[in-house]
Structure 1
Amino acid sequence: MLDARRKYSPGKEDAPFFAWPWKYLGSYKYLLYGPFLAEFLYSTYWEERQSHECDWCMHIFMICMLRSLIHQLWSSYDAMLFLNHDRRLSQSGIDYKQIDNEWHWDNFIILQAIVASVICLIFPTLSELPIWETRGIICCIFLHVVLVEPLYYCVHRLSHVSVFFERYHWLHHSSIVPHPFAAGHSSFLEHLILSVIVEIPLLGTTLIGYGSISMFYSYILVFDFLRCLGHSNFEVIPHQIFDILPPLKYLIYTPTYHGIHHTDMGKNFCLFMPLLDILGSTIDEHYWNLHKETSSSAGRKRRIPDFVFLAHGVDVVSSLHAPFIFRSFSSKPFSTRFFLLPLWPISLLVIPTMWAFAKTFPVSFYELKGRLFQLWAVPRFGFQYFLPFAAEGINKHIEDAILRADRLGVKVINLAALNKNEALNGGGALFVSKHPKLRIRVVHGNTLTAAVILKGIPQDVTEVFVSGSTSKLGRAIAIYLARRRVRVLMLTKSTERFTTIQKEAPVDCQNFLVQVTEYQAAKHCKTWIIGKWTTPQEQRWAPPGTHFHQFVVPTIISFRGDCTYGSLAAMKLPDNVEGLGMCEYTLERGAVHACHAGGVVHLLEGWTHHEVGAVDVDQIDVVWEAALRHGLKPC
């Protein structure tokens, strides 16, 4: 396997032609596609026009969109840990810094569209090319092999000369973990040179009379496909192919081959053909064995996580927040965006298919203090947890995940939100009682959730109102506050459940717990702790200036403009976390829900008990202090 982590010093950003001309446009750079899009629409809806002189605009726009799609599909596949986790080259995760650095990875597509339009203006006869020309395809391949490959090899080696590397090429190598988007992460000057190189076989073939539209499409799209292949972080080409056809290993590179170049920058400079590195004596001699080792490890070799956070979907749209959909979107807190709406029907069709083939699947991972933390997902939505007939099936998924993690040797599995619902499985107690010999520790993390909520309540508060007061969290919060001599208005219609909880409090504190059956009873209380969905109508009873603390999933609607609303309890992970590049639902970067953080603390402390069922009120301060000691911070 390749070790992506290395000490690296960034170069200069003020070199001539380093920055992109549209750098300060940000996302508005896509307006540069405007003329091409206008021509595309014009040629589509006004086909009766006699002249076709601008058809090349339509083709350039379509090629650009297809190129973007190829990179996106490769990016999605690269992030599908459930398909390629055992063939990954680097075991490091992609962090926010790399994602931000590669945010505008597609600048080169815009540049080459502009270069292509200039060429089409110089050579207007390009709009008259035939659809297919076999001789042109052969000629284009020939020119690529004899001109493009050697030229790129020489230019690439030149780019590693210290003067050029420190000014330009360092940017490409600043992408620590291989990824298809890293293929386009280079300076403006480098892509300008590459644009000229790419056009050589296309223009050469066209000028000798063998050009065709299919040649342009095929060459450019295959070129991008192979670049994405080489920059992927998993081995996709089986070594058996090279055993059957030995000459092929000199004609096509692999992700392992290119990955070596990013760990040893003095080796493997070729574009696609290792033959040139052999001729130039720059090939890594260990490549063949390393490729065979990586390819052979499929289905066998993997790193076992120390910790698993078992999450679930909230709704159809939020399922698109996974890294294997849009990496940039998942690296920011979730919110419903306009561009997601067209994908809603696709998501609704794809997710049931995933249910049929996967009970759980890994989504992302990060590392902390040498431990591997992995997020697995149960392919179920929030509303399904409240369907009585679905309970058995959901519990079966959760149980299978726990047993699978136990077999793998995972130390802690942390149940997220609804996966530990009291009515579903008693906060995980069902699985512990059913499998008493589990080596893995099952943790709901609610002790730290309670701590985060309680520490967020000012010390001078004398009265609070709690809905969902008889739940695991509501009970713990109520008893803890009663011990602090805070009057707690517990919303519940069950006198029996209220009495049971009241008796758990110290005798001299029991009178601080007060049962209420209507929201109206809290009309003078300015601290509301919401553990049960509260409608806008019910929120009206809160006096102006009320703050709503929450532990309800999903969170309530921020209806009152004269009140403030807290988010779900969460904590920031320590600063030394590595490979974290996904935001957990609506939370900010680097933050996780408090129950997730509770599982992290459980692992780091090395605790050997299960944390299931009722929250131990005596452990709230213990867990909170342990979290702070390990560098976690309240959001």
Structure 2
Amino acid sequence: MAKKPLSAWPWENLGSFKYAMYGPLAANVMYSWIYEDSYKHPWCVHILIICALRGFMHQLWNSYNNMLFLGNCRIKQQGVEFKQIDNEWDWDNFILLQGLLATMACLMFPSMDDEFPIWNTKGFITLMLLHVMVSEPLYYWMHRFFHGRYLFTHYHSLHHSSSVPHPFTAGHATFLEHLILSMVIGIPIMGSILMGSGSTSMIYGYVLGFDFMRCMGHSNVEVIHGAIFNKLPFLRYLIYTPTYHSLHHSDMGTNFCLFMPLFDAMWNTLNRNSWQLHNKIFEFRGKWEGSGFCVPSPHSGRNVGDAHSVCKPILRINTLLHKDVSATILACNFDDIANDVGMVQDLPPHFLQPSRPFVPDMDCSQIRFSEHCLFLQYFLPFAADGINKKIEEAILKADRMGVKVISLAALNKNEALNGGGTLFVNKHPQLKVRVCHGYTLTAAVIVNEIPKDVKEVFLTGSTSKLGRAIALYLCRRRIRVLMLTSSTERFQKIQKEAPADTQNYLVHVTKYQAAQNCKTWIAGKWITPWEQSWAPSGTHFHQFVVPPILASRRDCTYGDLAAMRLPEDVEGLGSCEYKLERGVVHACHAGGAVHQLEGWPHHEIGPIDVDRIDLVWEAALKHGFRPVFQP
């Protein structure tokens, strides 16, 4: 169906090139700064600054909207999906539109070239009167008109297509709607200026305050405590809340106001459940809804890129989340939805430094150094107690919240650190939450990646938790395993675990040269480019080493870290995990979800039970998980 006039944005097909429309303003500022003593058109600077601050305002609200570890009261339990993220990709079109309209207004009124005073009390009074007496009722009635059949179908339905309101949803609307919204926000400002009472603080304050209220109303977390309204009931009619506005998206015949429910009350469109729902939101604060949850507990630093990965889902920067990067922070309810609820118990201050997340490709040596330190702290003996304390706090909090399974991320389940979670289970035998390292499914993914006709594999990291399980499993399949290790004692210990008739399939090697004729390598330990040079041409490198090995051989192929594709019916998922593609999670996290779905009563901790590898693999496939790599 062809789009109606003014429904599409004029620069819809320009993509990122739309930002070039800020170019004339920026050029004017640069020219004045370099060649002139003072700005001839100071409004150019102010428009650019205000546009930047408005974008920053929306980003901050989106970041707060996802910081559920702060104890935020979530209104809708489902997460924001990729489809909604894609639809709202150009949420900032309205900032560009209003910047252009402001530029046109300044060109039409030469008096704008004069500097406004910083403060004018009369201007603020005029502004507030115009807002309450003109903008609020104007928006209310225009909003109601847009809910008529024709206008809603062709214009307003786009805004309501977002199933989970969040701050970016505030800007997600058609061109016509934002033209009208520009008039709503422009009347108080222009009215005050034309009456001779304008000021710089008035313009900045009103525009940013307007965006603040819009972002707050479209957030999926409640920020105004119900006790405030209970003690001061009249405030209910002077300021709306996220809960109040969320009801408009579920019951579209009510709650039309801009910021003041007073106008809904005046014209009998106020949803009678507004205050009850608002109080109920706080009653369920900190409780998990749904039939069951699996919460991966991320570590502070996995490698240089991981601190950045942790920032992305919390800060929710669309350009990062939309791509194959981001969240190790994810909670999934695979019976109904996959909520992007995160538990961050050990997030250090370095993650919140603004320079890194908002300039993702910035080469900031200080932040990179911090990330290296976060990675190294897991290998410092004196840091072990502090790290385990944080992990223990996360497990106990999950237990109190009613979480069914908590899946430990790679370094949080380090054998030397806490025995793969054994330390916590032994210390708290009464735990209801199941602690799960998920490595059984990781081992299953790796062994099922190996083609059936392979007769020999070369295994590094062979005496690690995963290496041991993989070696024992493959030898049962009569596959010869070249186990690279310098410890004869550890090799012999593993060899004795194998059935007597398959022990000869485990071969102890101490040098990479031993694998120069083997085309299937499994890397469980970092392999340098020089060490890779011993592999014959055509070798495929499977791996479970963190960080992944460098792909230095063009004549060889390299697998990714063990991962599985989520079931197709998973909902509410809107961020990628680490550097994986959409809908793909690391196998150990998928293992935690399978553990919850099966309702297994045991903890998955300590050494991997080789006898359960096939069982866990079949359970994952039964629930719709699919391997990413097919041999």
TM-score, normalisation: structure 1:
0.89
- Is residue 13–residue 167 contact of structure 1 (8 Å, CA) maintained in 2? no
Corresponding residue to 2:108 among 117, 122, 125: 122
Show the counterpart of 1:314: 302
Say yes or no: does 1:331 pair with 2:331. no
Aligned-partner Cα distance in 1 for 2:487–2:44: 70
Corresponding residue to 2:623 among 606, 610, 630: 630
Aligned CA distance change for structure 1 residues 13 and 541 (closer, same or farther; 3 Å): farther
Aligned CA distance change for structure 1 residues 44 and 244 (closer, same or farther; 3 Å): farther
Deviation at 1:299, TM superposition (A): 5.4
- Is residue 76–residue 220 contact of structure 2 (8 Å, CA) maintained in 1? yes
Show the 5 A alignment for 1:208-607: 208-294=195-281, 296-297=282-283, 303=289, 306-312=293-299, 313-315=301-303, 317-321=305-309, 322-333=312-323, 363-370=329-336, 375-379=342-346, 381-607=374-600
Aligned CA distance change for structure 1 residues 190 and 457 (closer, same or farther; 3 Å): same
Which segments of 5 or more consecutive residues in structure 1 lack a partner in the other structure? 1-11, 337-360
Deviation at 1:456, TM superposition (A): 0.7
Aligned-partner Cα distance in 1 for 2:80–2:453: 44
- Is residue 307–residue 600 contact of structure 1 (8 Å, CA) maintained in 2? yes
State the SS of the aligned residue for 2:14: helix
Question: Which piece of structure 1 moves more, 169-178 or 321-330?
Answer: 321-330
AA at the equivalent of 2:132:
V
Aligned-partner Cα distance in 2 for 1:302–1:89: 12
Deviation at 1:530, TM superposition (A): 0.3
State the SS of the aligned residue for 2:298: strand
Deviation at 1:484, TM superposition (A): 1.6
Say yes or no: does 1:100 pair with 2:86. yes
Show the counterpart of 1:155: 142
Aligned-partner Cα distance in 2 for 1:331–1:276: 38
- Is residue 572–residue 632 contact of structure 1 (8 Å, CA) maintained in 2? yes
AA at the equivalent of 2:174:
S
State the SS of the aligned residue for 1:23: coil
Aligned CA distance change for structure 1 residues 459 and 375 (closer, same or farther; 3 Å): farther
Show the counterpart of 1:180: 167
After superposition, give the CA deviation of every residue in 1:81-138 in whole Å (9 maximum; x if it has no partner).
01243x2211111111111111111110001111111111111211214223221221
Aligned CA distance change for structure 1 residues 454 and 171 (closer, same or farther; 3 Å): same
AA at the equivalent of 1:318:
D
Aligned-partner Cα distance in 2 for 1:236–1:523: 62
Which segments of 5 or more consecutive residues in structure 2 lack a partner in the other structure? 348-373
Show the counterpart of 1:347: none
Show the counterpart of 2:10: 21
Aligned-partner Cα distance in 2 for 1:214–1:47: 26
- Is residue 416–residue 444 contact of structure 1 (8 Å, CA) maintained in 2? yes
Aligned CA distance change for structure 1 residues 316 and 81 (closer, same or farther; 3 Å): farther
Aligned-partner Cα distance in 1 for 2:332–2:513: 46
AA at the equivalent of 2:316:
F
Deviation at 1:40, TM superposition (A): 3.3
- Is residue 498–residue 515 contact of structure 1 (8 Å, CA) maintained in 2? yes
Aligned-partner Cα distance in 1 for 2:492–2:150: 77
State the SS of the aligned residue for 1:103: coil
Deviation at 1:508, TM superposition (A): 2.0
Identity of aligned residues (%): 58
Show the counterpart of 1:343: none
- Is residue 520–residue 541 contact of structure 2 (8 Å, CA) maintained in 1? yes
After superposition, give the CA deviation of every residue in 1:459-513 in whole Å (9 maximum; x if it has no partner).
1111110000011111111121112221111000111111111122222221111
Aligned-partner Cα distance in 2 for 1:129–1:201: 19
AA at the equivalent of 1:557:
L
- Is residue 307–residue 372 contact of structure 1 (8 Å, CA) maintained in 2? no
Deviation at 1:527, TM superposition (A): 0.9
After superposition, give the CA deviation of every residue in 1:16-61 in whole Å (9 maximum; x if it has no partner).
2212111122222222222222233344455514xx4322111110
Aligned CA distance change for structure 1 residues 288 and 437 (closer, same or farther; 3 Å): closer
Show the counterpart of 1:345: none
Aligned-partner Cα distance in 1 for 2:280–2:492: 64
What root-mean-square deviation, in Å, do the aligned CA atoms of Structure 1 and Structure 2 show? 2.2
After superposition, give the CA deviation of every residue in 1:522-545 in whole Å (9 maximum; x if it has no partner).
112111100011112211111221
Aligned-partner Cα distance in 2 for 1:224–1:195: 12
Aligned-partner Cα distance in 2 for 1:302–1:473: 33
Aligned CA distance change for structure 1 residues 552 and 115 (closer, same or farther; 3 Å): same
Aligned CA distance change for structure 1 residues 479 and 587 (closer, same or farther; 3 Å): same
Corresponding residue to 1:34 among 19, 23, 30: 23
- Is residue 226–residue 272 contact of structure 1 (8 Å, CA) maintained in 2? yes
Aligned residues: 596
State the SS of the aligned residue for 1:553: coil
Aligned CA distance change for structure 1 residues 379 and 608 (closer, same or farther; 3 Å): same
Deviation at 1:249, TM superposition (A): 2.3
Aligned CA distance change for structure 1 residues 364 and 571 (closer, same or farther; 3 Å): closer
